[in-house]
Structure 1
């Protein structure tokens, strides 16, 4: 279990270090009314940048790219779904003003004819530093000294940590992720 967990953590770290994105954060009193286009812009930015990671980096997770009929390695696609917990500052109205984003991601590495159930997947709460280009990304991971839940609470403000402990992708986002994954894998 520890080796498998470490493999996924490293895969997530590699994927996220090579990618960037954004997530909109919820207000402490629950979701606040965001301009619809700001929410969509942040989700699109996050999804797009997470999906731009270099597929060869997944070899570090024990994942090996399968050769094609020509003997060349197939180029897998990274397909991601995202969930927005909130952003700071919470009162901004444009993407350019967002500095920090708290959210969740689930990405699958889509290779030709490889079904979702056996795909390499990377998932968990993330923090995006939108003040840098490309945005900096931190994933929540346990250490030898700190349990996962404790690390999450260290990294996330309480209002977002509570969401991260109980909410992942919406059913709609998960269905969209699976549809896009199947299309990318040629299924």
Structure 2
């Protein structure tokens, strides 16, 4: 066997190894959530995401307004309430051992919302985004966003507000690709695009 045949064999086998590694990695991702613990019932996480999304979309935009955005600029009249379309990611919730939505007290996550004005493309929409804490024990759920202040930088404020395991995720992860695609589809429909 010459060196060229050896290289071709290695090259073909490399794809087999890459495929095997990807299959094992994908299996591990399915078995664990982003916090690294055993996967909870899939429907609970989906229920939390739905509750977060609904709460953010139904709230007055000022309740999750931050970073200097003024959503009232997006309203066409003073009486018009802008349509808000949100995508969310759940980093985790407390108590972590609960199995029903009714028992969830606090949710730590991320939100990206766009204010959908008619015929305004996503790239030009007023957006609200960042790590968010939702108090699920109140009705409606309370919304608290992470903001820097004159005295405290964003990262420091995030670490003050989020448990360490969720703060680390918040520094690295935003919306999943599928959630972002769904957000854009729903935004375009709401904006009449």
TM-score (norm 1): 0.77
Q: Which 5+ residue runs of structure 2 have no aligned equivalent? A: 1-32
**Relative contact order, higher structure (CA 8 A, sep 6+):** 1
- Count the aligned residue pairs: 157
Q: Is 1:118 aligned to 2:128, yes or no?
A: no
**1: CA distance between counterparts of 2:101 and 2:62?**
30
CA gap of 1:122–1:180, structure 2 versus 1, over 3 A, is same
What's the RMSD between the two structures over aligned residues? Answer: 2.3
Q: Is the 8 A contact 2:74 2:82 kept in 1?
A: no
Rate the CA distance shift 1:95–1:54 in 2: closer, same or farther, 3 A: same
Q: Specify the structure having the higher radius of gyration (Cα).
A: 2
- Residue 97 of structure 1 deviates from its aligned partner by 0.6
Runs of 4 or more above 3 Å deviation: 54-62, 72-75
By percentage of residues, which structure has more helix?
A: 2
Relative to 1, partners in 2 of residues 1:35 and 1:124: Cα closer, same or farther, differing over 3 Å? same
Among 96, 100, 103, the alignment partner of 2:102 is 96
Per-residue Cα deviation, 1:108-155 (whole angstroms, up to 9, x for no partner): 000100000010000000111111111112110011111000000000
Secondary structure of 1:114's aligned partner: coil
Question: Unpaired runs of 5+ in structure 1?
Answer: 1-25
